[in-house]
Amino acid sequence: MKGTKKIAELFTNTHDTCVLSCLQDVMGRLYTSQDESSAIAALGSYLYLGGKPTGELLWKALADMQSGKVHLIDVSGWWTSLLERFFAGGYKVQTRYALSQEGTVFDTEALLQNVQMLSAAYEMKRIDRTLFEKCAMEEWSRDFVCNYDSFTLFEKHGLGYVILKDGELVAGASSYSGYLDGIEISIATREDFRRQGLAKICASKLILECLKKGWYPNWDAANTKSLALAKQLGYHYAGEYECIEITVPYLQSGQSDI
């Protein structure tokens, strides 16, 4: 379902593009209360909680999540105390780092120089149908494509580049998600090829291609290393925020009345 103006107003405290993907009905799921005073935007492993805390709505959204780690982000500022009580002793608090969304800050010449640093021993390719399927097969590269139901959707609302060595995927930068005017960047390097600057090269190429398409390459850093790389590429730090991480399955019968 596409978000109404009233629902969109529940998420005015966040610039996270995963929320936009849900509101625009590009991808992800949007859960709302009947009176639209509460809403949860769900994409990948992330739940963005807006408006009035509602146990019934939270239960519904969590029930649809696959087993694994789930990240809950309190957008309205009203959900955290409820989450802390409900998941007492069973959650972790993570700090994430937001980057400002400024379309004119990128130094395209510097980004192009980064791309040209790729050694002749490697090959960079845009993610096509074959590479889309290949990315999905390996745990470290799965986030490059995992939120797209098909390559057709990825081709329309996604974009990504990978680096290969002897035909094997070793690094990449791609869209964790897409919205009408851009993507949310996901970067990763296979463990045995780290510390060679490959992520920086891929990310530079992805940013350049997004700019050519008129898309904004949004970056939200999960850790300080990601934040440092984002700054090197031209992004400006906007501040930190917290998310609560839980693991599913964890729900017990009778807890839906929170």
Q: pLDDT tens-digit profile of 30-73?
A: 999 999 999 999 999 999 999 999 988 998 999 888 768 899 99
User: pLDDT at residue 255 above 90?
Assistant: no
| Residue whose token pair is 């984002």 | 230
Q: Tell me what pLDDT residue 133 has.
A: 98
Pull the structure tokens for residue 81: 């105390």
- Residues 168-176, mean pLDDT to the nearest whole number: 98
Pull the structure tokens for residue 177: 């998600």
Cβ atoms of residues 159 and 183 within 8 Å: yes
pTM over 0.85, yes/no: yes
- Of how many residues is the chain composed? 258
Determine how many CB atoms are found less than 10 A away from the CB of residue 74. Answer: 22
- Residues 222-238, mean pLDDT to the nearest whole number: 96
Q: Tell me what pLDDT residue 1 has.
A: 58
- Mapping DSSP onto H, E and C, the string for the chain reads CCCCHHHHHCCCCCCCHHHHHHHCCCCCEEEECCCCCEEEEEECCEEEEEECCCHHHHHHHHHCCCCEEEEEEECCCCCHHHHHHHCCCCCEEEEEEEECCCCCCCCHHHHHHHHCCCCCCCEEEECCHHHHHHHHHCHHHHHHCCCCCCHHHHHHHCCEEEEEECCEEEEEEEEEEEECCEEEEEEEECHHHCCCCHHHHHHHHHHHHHHHHCCEEECEECCHHHHHHHHHCCCCEEEEEEEEEEEECCCCCCHHHC
User: pLDDT at residue 256 above 80?
Assistant: no
Q: Tell me what pLDDT residue 252 has.
A: 41
- Residues 137-145, mean pLDDT to the nearest whole number: 96
d(CA 11, CA 143): 24
Radius of gyration of the chain from its Cα atoms, rounded to whole angstroms: 19
Contacts of 222 (CB under 8 A, 6+ apart): 94, 96, 97
Determine how many CB atoms are found less than 10 A away from the CB of residue 159. Answer: 21
Share of the chain above pLDDT 70, in %: 95
Q: Tell me what pLDDT residue 90 has.
A: 85
Domains along the chain?
Answer: 5-98+241-257 (3.40.630.110), 108-235 (3.40.630.30)
Q: Tell me what pLDDT residue 249 has.
A: 61
Q: Which of 202, 191, 180, 16 lies closest to 98, judged by CA?
A: 16
User: pLDDT at residue 81 above 90?
Assistant: no
